[in-house]
């Protein structure tokens, strides 16, 4: 397994990811924080939910990320008549072999783009639950492993848009982070007219990284050190959502795990082999807000989950770096051990 404990290796990691970042930013202008979060989720072995109004580049972001990596890509257009078997696959009887043969569905790819995921019925949405959490698919009692790396990038229109279904809580909890692209600045929109006016920039987009590179980078992220104080800080933030008076559903233990994993990836992208409380703070809204359900009173007061997370960040004590170092303690080699 490749490790990235030394500075040169961390430089290799950031260099490889930087190629992908520049490739995606060539398509999505003026949204560097959105692109960075997408790469963070990829390296943290999570899944990304892109939620926004139509026409702001949700599908464009997902396609740009997929085309920048040389790997298998499938796109699923979610519609009300989409069946679960269209996603997972189906067993078909082979007349010659006199036996059933499994035909893999669209989920059998390294990057899966789920376009307008909330236009499908809850039954079809639930077909993604096992694959997103366990990276496998079970059909007719037979389990099939999914390839690595495996990333689901789903786009979603706001629930109040016509013809959409709200994602169930269990489905939202499978996504590591949710991001909203938002409208571009006037300068970025003007640049978009110059770049996209003649042809789609996706047509000229070439892979700048291979799937096996991403696998090694994922392994590198796992080695990032998270001090006990930083882990406890993440736990305290998640626990505060479960006791907040304006929330009727707080974040799950899976949210804590996702927050720490994303923190590791963010630290690695910054060229560090250790995480900081700042990494946790930066990712808290994206990782936690979509899992929370405000109370009816909070909704009447137009309070959003993002506002509640902001309050929790302001009220939760930040760990003191003097109490515990963030870096991993160096192991001292016994005399004569060098070179063994």
Tell me: do 261 and 195 sit in the same domain: no
Residues 214 and 229 in one domain: no
Paired tokens of 252: 């799950």
Which pLDDT score, from 0 to 100, does residue 160 have?
Answer: 63
247, 172: one domain: no
Residues 45 and 132 in one domain: yes
Residue 236 lies in a domain: yes
pLDDT of res. 336: 44
**C-beta atoms surrounding 330 within 10 Å:** 6
Residue 126 has pLDDT above 90, yes or no: no
Distance CA 142, CA 186 (A): 53
| pLDDT above 70 for 198 | no
Cα–Cα dist 152/172, whole Å: 12
Whether 23 is covered by a domain: the verdict is yes
Angle between helices 228-243 and 277-288 (to 10 degrees): 30
Q: If we measure between CA atoms, which residue out of 141, 312, 321, 161 comes closest to residue 238? A: 312
C-alpha span between 301 and 310 (Å, rounded): 16
Question: Cα–Cα distances in Å, from 166 out to 50, 58, 169?
Answer: 14, 18, 9
pLDDT digits 0-9 by tens, 276-318: 999 999 999 999 999 999 999 999 999 999 999 999 999 999 9
CATH at residue 105: 3.40.50.300
Residues 263 and 217 in one domain: no
Residues 256 and 109 in one domain: no
Among residues 154, 122, 137, 152, the alpha carbon closest in space to that of 58 is found at 154
Q: What is the DSSP letter of 336?
A: T
Report d(CA 158, CA 119) in Å as an integer.
Answer: 11
Domain boundary among 199, 222, 245: 222
Residues 112 and 258 in one domain: no
Residues 90 and 63 in one domain: yes
* Separation between Cα atoms, residue 317 and residue 299, nearest integer Å: 27
Cα 163 to Cα 82, 154, 182, distances in angstroms:
14, 17, 21
Domain shared by 184 and 228, yes or no = no
In this structure, the answer to whether residues 32 and 47 fall within a common structural domain is: yes
77 found inside a domain: yes
Instruction: Count the domains in the chain.
Output: 2
Verify that 28 and 67 share a domain, yes or no.
yes
Q: Which of 202, 222, 242 is the last residue in one of the domains?
A: 222
Average pLDDT, the chain: 86
Regarding pTM above 0.85, the answer is yes
Range of the domain at 214: 1-222
């Amino acid at each position: 397994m490749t490790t990235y404990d030394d500075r040169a290796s961390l430089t290799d990691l950031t260099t490889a990811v930087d190629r992908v970042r520049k490739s995606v930013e060539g398509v999505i202008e003026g949204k560097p924080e959105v692109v960075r979060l997408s790469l963070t989720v990829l390296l943290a072995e999570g899944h990304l939910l892109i939620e926004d109004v139509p026409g702001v580049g949700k599908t464009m972001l997902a396609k740009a990320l997929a085309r920048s990596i040389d790997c298998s890509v499938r796109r699923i257009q979610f519609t009300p008549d989409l069946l679960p078997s269209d996603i997972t696959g189906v067993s078909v009887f082979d007349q010659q072999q006199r036996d059933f043969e499994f035909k893999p569905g669209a989920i059998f790819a390294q990057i899966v783009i789920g376009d307008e995921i909330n236009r499908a019925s809850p039954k079809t949405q639930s077909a993604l639950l096992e694959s997103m959490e366990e990276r496998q698919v079970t059909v007719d009692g037979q389990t099939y492993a999914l390839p690595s790396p495996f990333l689901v990038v789903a786009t979603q229109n706001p629930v109040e848009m016509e013809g959409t279904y709200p994602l169930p809580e269990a489905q939202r909890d499978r996504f590591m982070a949710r991001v909203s692209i938002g409208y571009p600045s006037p300068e970025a929109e003007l640049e978009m007219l110059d770049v996209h006016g003649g042809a789609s920039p996706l047509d000229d987009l070439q892979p700048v990284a291979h799937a096996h590179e991403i696998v090694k980078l994922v392994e590198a992220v796992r080695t990032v050190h998270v001090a006990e104080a930083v882990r406890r800080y993440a736990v305290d933030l998640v626990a505060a959502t479960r006791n907040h008076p304006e929330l009727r559903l707080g974040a799950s233990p899976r949210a804590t795990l996702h927050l720490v994993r994303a923190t590791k990836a963010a630290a690695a992208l910054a060229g560090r082999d250790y995480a900081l409380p700042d990494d946790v703070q930066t990712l808290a809204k994206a990782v936690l807000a979509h899992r929370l359900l405000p109370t009816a009173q909070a909704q009447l007061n137009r309070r959003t989950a993002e506002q509640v997370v902001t309050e929790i960040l302001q009220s939760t004590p930040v760990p003191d770096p003097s109490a515990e170092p963030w870096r991993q303690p160096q192991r001292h080699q016994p005399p004569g051990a060098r070179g063994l």
